[in-house]
Amino acid sequence: MLDRNMLSNTAYVILGILQKGPTSGYDIKSKVDMSARFFFTASYGQIYPELKRLEKSGLIAGTERLNGRRARTEYAITSTGREALLEWLRTPSAGIDVRDEGLLKFFFGGKLDRDDLLARIEALRAERVADLERIREISRCVPDEADELQLAVLDYGFGLYDYVIDWCDRMLTRFGSREESEFPVDRWNPDDVLTLLQTVGGGDTPPT
């Protein structure tokens, strides 16, 4: 299955960032952290080796710039790199891959009594709110060039957390209060998990 020169997602992310202008490995990391953190992360341990590999393959080219005595290697995407990126964009993607330890703990809380379970959900909610707060803080200073797609994925990310926190709230009313009907569930009926799919799946997609 190894296509002799398959690139990793990290590689494409680097190409994607570089497409917007030349940058250093250090800056790539912070740009990814600030803009793509809702659906991708990368550490220096991945970025720096990948930059070397991409340069060796001729998809990017590095230039030494020194401000004073501080060395800084700025990488620029080559035309081959641009082609590789464009080709990747046209390719079908893998599914969403979510890892959520908090939800895992909720899921296995079956032997807990009600109060303990509620405390767990409250904790989960609080964690998510805190996560969101942290991300919000980071994102505040982002829009350097404020491109449309960057705003769109921010929108995606914040909305995602909005959904997750709402779900926590729904679970709190569902497992907590006895006067459940006081808090109407407006979006869809959580007790009927399977029927809602008709609404979602049978919508407005053109027949393939």
Partner DNA sequence: GGCATCATGTAACATGTTACATGATTTT
Partner DNA sequence: AAAATCATGTAACATGTTACATGATGCC
d(CA 116, CA 176): 11
Does residue 61 bind its own copies (CB under 8 A)? no
**Cβ at position 107, least distance to its own copies in Å:** 5
Q: Which does 177 bind (CB under 5 to 8 A by kind): DNA, its own copies, none?
A: none
What is the separation of C-alpha 184 from the centre of its chain, rounded to a whole number of angstroms? 31
The Cβ of residue 143 has, within 10 Å, a number of other Cβ atoms equal to 13
Amino acid at 111: K
Minimum CB distance to DNA smaller for 19 or for 43: 43
d(CA 202, CA 192): 17
Instruction: Calculate the alpha carbon distances from 63 to 81, 135, 175 in Å.
Output: 16, 32, 59
Does residue 27 bind DNA (CB under 7 A)? yes
Minimum CB distance to its own copies smaller for 71 or for 197: 197
**Cβ at position 17, least distance to its own copies in Å:** 8
HSE of 7, CA atoms in CB hemisphere, 13 A: 28
Please give the angle made by the CA atoms of 176, 181 and 182, to the nearest 5 degrees. 90
Does residue 206 bind DNA (CB under 7 A)? no
Minimum CB distance to its own copies smaller for 53 or for 174: 174
**Cβ at position 70, least distance to its own copies in Å:** 29
List the interface residues with DNA, window 96-115 (CB under 7 A): 99
d(CA 167, CA 176): 13
Minimum CB distance to DNA smaller for 111 or for 140: 140
From candidates 24, 57, 139, 173, binder to DNA by CB under 7 A: 24
The Cβ of residue 169 has, within 10 Å, a number of other Cβ atoms equal to 14
Q: Which does 32 bind (CB under 5 to 8 A by kind): its own copies, DNA, none?
A: none
The radius of gyration of the chain from alpha carbons, rounded to an integer in Å, stands at 22
At 96 the three-state DSSP class reads coil
Does residue 11 bind its own copies (CB under 8 A)? no
From candidates 108, 144, 177, 180, binder to its own copies by CB under 8 A: 108
Token pair of 29 as six digits: 């990391």
Does residue 93 bind its own copies (CB under 8 A)? yes
Query: Which residues bind to DNA, rule: CB under 7 A?
Result: 1-2, 6, 8-10, 24-27, 30, 41-46, 48-49, 51-52, 67-73, 99
